[in-house]
Structure 1
Amino acid sequence: MRTTGLWSERFKLLLFNNKFISFLFILLLVGLNIFVLTKIKFIFTPLLILLKTVLLPLILTGVLYYLLNPIVDFLEARKVRRAYSILVLYIVILGILALAIGTVIPLIKEQVLGLVENIPDYTRTLNLQMEQLIGSNFVNQLTSTIDIHTDELVDTISSRLTAMLNHTWSSLSGFLGALTETILAIATVPLILFYLLIDGRLLPPYILSFLPIALRNTTYRVMEEMSHQISSYIRGQIIVSFCIGFLLFIGYNVIGLDYSLVLAVIAACTSIVPYLGPAIAITPALIVASVTSPVMLLKMVVIWTLVQLIEGKFISPQIMGKSLHIHPVTIIFVILTAGNLFGLVGIILAVPGYAVLKVVVSHLFQWFKKRSGLYEISPDR
């Protein structure tokens, strides 16, 4: 009986006093909770529907808040009431939108319609150029040497081009659906944004009031760091994207490239996605330039290279800096993963979402290091 009690005490000491086993036990409990939640996910369906409904207006409101709040704070420091500052900003924004609708939008519409009408001609021209390239003497000698049939190669490339175009149109239809949701959400954004700009500073203390007093200071630091990461990324990325679009528009006009405004707008919009966005934006410009002439293609590549050098060496370091502290390879993997999981919205929100998650995980890890004692340096070292 005494032996049984002794083994029981040793088992308790091994289980509860061994920090590594305790850590594994916590991981097991977390895994069991995740497993149970996946089996009862139907309970969260109404919550997911609510989140999907309000997510887009909240995202748009958050982006505008981080863009406009510094201006409101600046005017408030100059003794201008916040309500008056917000009303003045709304009037300025409405004036800019009216100017854009009256001047810029018709030009974009005209160029978009012209580009869409010419897509079949561009496709046929590209196929002819590909056939001429494959049918040249050098390529014929090369294909005979490595035993490749030219006809099969032409058919394969044509089918791939057709599949890419079909995929592009299907993606465009999905984009148009997302655009419709965005337009509907815009109707609620001004009202939410007004109250957020007025009382946004009261939101963190209100959230902290629900937490225990011992956790409020740490939570406030985490929230402050998250807000800094998001605001730096949003303001910096939008300014960088605008600069890229503006420089490309000037460069495309200088070389006389068709549809310069549309191509520059596409480049500005896709540049919101770091690293992968410019690679996507150059595709339509390459197609238009290659169909126009080889000289135009060379000019377009030169303009694009110059703009990317200016952006990488001067614009981004000055505006973005190193605020996110995320390696470029990590950003690429995060964007690809978020795109596969959540589509277009995931691609746009991948980097700021990862930055926020990184802040939370890093603070949780620091808390775990202090509490667990697993990372303490032994006295004999």
Structure 2
Amino acid sequence: MNSLHMWSGRFKKFFLDNKFVLFLLILLLVGLNILVFMQASFIFTPIIVLIETIALPLILTGVVYYLLNPVVDFLERKKVKRIYSILLLYIIIIGLITISIVSVIPLLREQIMSLVDNFPRYVYIVEDQIKQMIGSKFFNQVQQTLNINLTDLASKLSDQASTILNSTFTGVGTFIGAVTEVFISIVTVPFILFYLLKDGKKLPLFILKYVPTRLREQTYEVMAEMNHRLSSYIRGQIIVSFCIGCLLFIGYLIIGLNYASLLALVAACTSIVPYLGPTIAITPAIIIALVTSPFMLIKLIIVWTVVQLIEGKFISPQIMGKNLHIHPVTIIFVLLTSAKLFGVVGVIVAIPGYAVLKVIVTHVFEAFRQRSTLYQKTDEEQV
């Protein structure tokens, strides 16, 4: 009996009381669980399908909710019932959509059709410019220096473009299916949004009912901080993107760039994604400016530089501030990783998702630090 008690004491001392060994055991159990779940992944197929079905409507609804909820709260503080505020907003939005369909959409449609009609001519002009460049003395010297044949390289690029084009046509069915899914998601957004605006304040209290009593206060703080980070980022990024689109539209009109409205709209939409978005947005503008004239390309670069300076020095600091506290290098790595894992949707939700995850991890680490003796404050920190 004493021997058994002695062995149990040793086991407790070297395993259960040893935090490093206990951490390794927990890590081993987590790995075994992941291995079992990977072998039985078919069990989670219905859950994955459910998440894929509701993800897009919930993301769209969340974005619109964070844009409209401050207006509803403001009207509610002015003694307007919440239900009436929501109905008033819906009427205004329907009016704006109607005005856009009547006035803006035909203009964009005209520019898109014009771009489609002129695209073969643009391809011919670019091809002619490439041939002239390849035939020049400078590029002949480059070919000799690098020991490459630029004509063969251009031919290979052309063949690759044809392959991509053919694969695009074969994927029309998939594209139509994706468009249908997006359309259905957009149709469901107003219904989900109505109830979220109406009863959204009750959601945290509903969630806290299922949280242990001693953790409710800390959980509420985490949810409040997550809500603040998300609302600040979404509202700020959309306002910044709108400002960029307006400034570029004005700049494109001043320099006389073709398809100014369409290019500004593309820039406004892609600027929602930090750092990578502006790079994507300027690409079609560069192509059109290059086809127009070299001088137009110079004017485009000037306009783009001025807009980026205004956005970086005046607009973003005033609107976005330092709410997320994320280093730019971290943002780029998060965007690239999310794009690799989840595609376009991952790029869109990468930064707010990282902000939410950062809040959770920070609070969990703080709770662990307070309970652990490994992070005792020094005398200087206590002072």
Give the alignment's TM-score, normalised by structure 1: 0.92
The whole-number CA distance in structure 1 between the counterparts of 2:187 and 2:148 is 58
What does residue 353 of structure 1 align with? Answer: 353
Identity of aligned residues (%): 59
Q: CA deviation at 1:22?
A: 1.4
What does residue 309 of structure 1 align with? Answer: 309
Partner amino acid, structure 1, of 2:122: Y
- Taking the TM superposition and a 5 Å limit, the aligned residue runs for 1:231-380 are 231-376=231-376
Please state if 1:151 is matched with 2:151.
yes
Q: CA deviation at 1:33?
A: 1.9
What does residue 27 of structure 2 align with? Answer: 27
* Structure 1: runs of 5 or more not aligned: none
What does residue 71 of structure 1 align with? Answer: 71
Tell which deviates more after alignment, 76-85 or 177-186.
177-186
The whole-number CA distance in structure 2 between the counterparts of 1:223 and 1:44 is 27
Partner amino acid, structure 1, of 2:203: L
Q: What SS is found at the alignment partner of 1:257?
A: coil
The whole-number CA distance in structure 2 between the counterparts of 1:174 and 1:11 is 59
What does residue 111 of structure 1 align with? Answer: 111
What does residue 54 of structure 1 align with? Answer: 54
Task: Report if aligned partners of 2:270, 2:280 keep a CA contact under 8 Å in 1.
Answer: yes
Q: CA deviation at 1:154?
A: 3.2
* Structure 2: runs of 5 or more not aligned: none
Q: What SS is found at the alignment partner of 1:322?
A: coil
Q: CA deviation at 1:124?
A: 2.1
Q: CA deviation at 1:323?
A: 0.6
The whole-number CA distance in structure 2 between the counterparts of 1:167 and 1:324 is 40
The whole-number CA distance in structure 1 between the counterparts of 2:185 and 2:5 is 67
Tell which deviates more after alignment, 128-137 or 63-72.
128-137
Q: CA deviation at 1:145?
A: 3.5
Q: CA deviation at 1:368?
A: 2.2
Given the superposition, is the C-alpha separation of residues 188 and 370 from structure 1 closer, same or farther in structure 2, using an over 3 Å criterion? same
Q: CA deviation at 1:148?
A: 2.9
The whole-number CA distance in structure 2 between the counterparts of 1:336 and 1:323 is 22
Given the superposition, is the C-alpha separation of residues 26 and 370 from structure 1 closer, same or farther in structure 2, using an over 3 Å criterion? farther
Given the superposition, is the C-alpha separation of residues 338 and 47 from structure 1 closer, same or farther in structure 2, using an over 3 Å criterion? same
The whole-number CA distance in structure 1 between the counterparts of 2:373 and 2:22 is 12
Q: Deviations over 1:97-154 (max 9, x none)?
A: 0000000001111111111222222222112111211211122233223433343243
The whole-number CA distance in structure 1 between the counterparts of 2:266 and 2:169 is 15
The whole-number CA distance in structure 1 between the counterparts of 2:296 and 2:164 is 24
Give the alignment's TM-score, normalised by structure 2: 0.92
Q: CA deviation at 1:170?
A: 8.5
Given the superposition, is the C-alpha separation of residues 168 and 248 from structure 1 closer, same or farther in structure 2, using an over 3 Å criterion? farther
What does residue 17 of structure 1 align with? Answer: 17
What does residue 218 of structure 1 align with? Answer: 218
Partner amino acid, structure 2, of 1:360: I
Given the superposition, is the C-alpha separation of residues 135 and 171 from structure 1 closer, same or farther in structure 2, using an over 3 Å criterion? farther
Partner amino acid, structure 1, of 2:37: L
Q: What SS is found at the alignment partner of 2:147?
A: coil
Task: Report if aligned partners of 1:135, 1:150 keep a CA contact under 8 Å in 2.
Answer: no
The whole-number CA distance in structure 1 between the counterparts of 2:88 and 2:350 is 33
Task: Report if aligned partners of 2:57, 2:188 keep a CA contact under 8 Å in 1.
Answer: yes
Partner amino acid, structure 1, of 2:311: E
- Taking the TM superposition and a 5 Å limit, the aligned residue runs for 1:74-93 are 74-93=74-93
Task: Report if aligned partners of 1:57, 1:189 keep a CA contact under 8 Å in 2.
Answer: yes
Partner amino acid, structure 1, of 2:100: A
Task: Report if aligned partners of 2:61, 2:189 keep a CA contact under 8 Å in 1.
Answer: yes
Given the superposition, is the C-alpha separation of residues 269 and 114 from structure 1 closer, same or farther in structure 2, using an over 3 Å criterion? same
Q: Deviations over 1:338-375 (max 9, x none)?
A: 11211111111111111111111111122222334333
Task: Report if aligned partners of 1:266, 1:281 keep a CA contact under 8 Å in 2.
Answer: yes
Please state if 1:193 is matched with 2:193.
yes
What does residue 181 of structure 1 align with? Answer: 181
The whole-number CA distance in structure 2 between the counterparts of 1:314 and 1:80 is 35
Partner amino acid, structure 2, of 1:218: Q
Q: CA deviation at 1:297?
A: 1.0
The whole-number CA distance in structure 1 between the counterparts of 2:205 and 2:277 is 38
Task: Report if aligned partners of 1:19, 1:372 keep a CA contact under 8 Å in 2.
Answer: no
Q: What SS is found at the alignment partner of 1:187?
A: helix
Cα root mean square deviation, aligned = 2.5
The whole-number CA distance in structure 2 between the counterparts of 1:118 and 1:92 is 37
Tell which deviates more after alignment, 361-370 or 286-295.
361-370
Task: Report if aligned partners of 2:134, 2:151 keep a CA contact under 8 Å in 1.
Answer: no
The whole-number CA distance in structure 2 between the counterparts of 1:348 and 1:73 is 27
Q: CA deviation at 1:6?
A: 4.2
